[in-house]
């Protein structure tokens, strides 16, 4: 499998940021990781990258429950962007709400809905399936 050049983690919990970035690095499948603490910060930066023609992440790992903009608000806005390349979104959340899972399925770019915590092996399996 070819390495993922850029992954983006949108997460506000320091423990999950630490574990997710550690596992992404240990997976050996991701070259660069960018971390944002809320959906607004991530959207604003990714929109600048898109508008300037810079490299967009191939994978976004998105938490749902965050301050400022939650994952849903990010998805609503990100879904309106005209992307030149495919971006795969994995929702990584503590939510076990079936309605959240169902809602996530309505977003074309969302490939999977994973309830935290996630293990290194889970990360490897997830990244292997990036389409």
The string of pLDDT tens digits covering residues 57-98 is 999 999 998 889 999 999 999 999 888 888 999 998 888 888
User: Tell me, what's the pLDDT at 126?
Assistant: 83
Question: How many domains are contained in the chain?
Answer: 1
pLDDT at 18 over 90: yes
Residue reference for tokens 């929702």: 91
CA–CA separation, 39 vs 70, rounded Å?
6
Say if 2 falls within a structural domain.
Answer: no
Q: Is residue 42 part of a domain?
A: yes
86 belongs to a structural domain: yes
Question: Does an H or E element contain 92, and which?
Answer: strand 88-93
| pLDDT interval class at 131 (50, 70, 90) | low
pTM, entire model? 0.90
CATH of the domain at 40: 3.40.50.2300
Residue 93 lies in a domain: yes
């Amino acid at each position: 499998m070819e390495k993922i050049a850029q992954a983006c983690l949108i997460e506000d919990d320091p423990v999950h940021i630490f574990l997710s970035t550690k596992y992404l690095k240990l997976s050996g499948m991701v070259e660069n990781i960018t971390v944002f603490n809320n959906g607004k910060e991530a959207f604003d930066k990714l929109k600048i990258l898109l508008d300037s023609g810079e490299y967009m992440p191939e994978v976004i790992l998105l938490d749902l429950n965050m301050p400022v903009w939650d994952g849903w608000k990010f998805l609503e806005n990100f879904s309106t962007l005209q992307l030149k390349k495919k971006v795969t979104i994995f929702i990584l959340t503590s939510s076990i709400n079936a309605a959240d899972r169902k809602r996530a399925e309505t977003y074309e770019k969302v490939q999977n809905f994973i309830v935290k915590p996630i293990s290194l092996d889970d990360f490897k399996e997830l990244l292997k399936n990036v389409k």
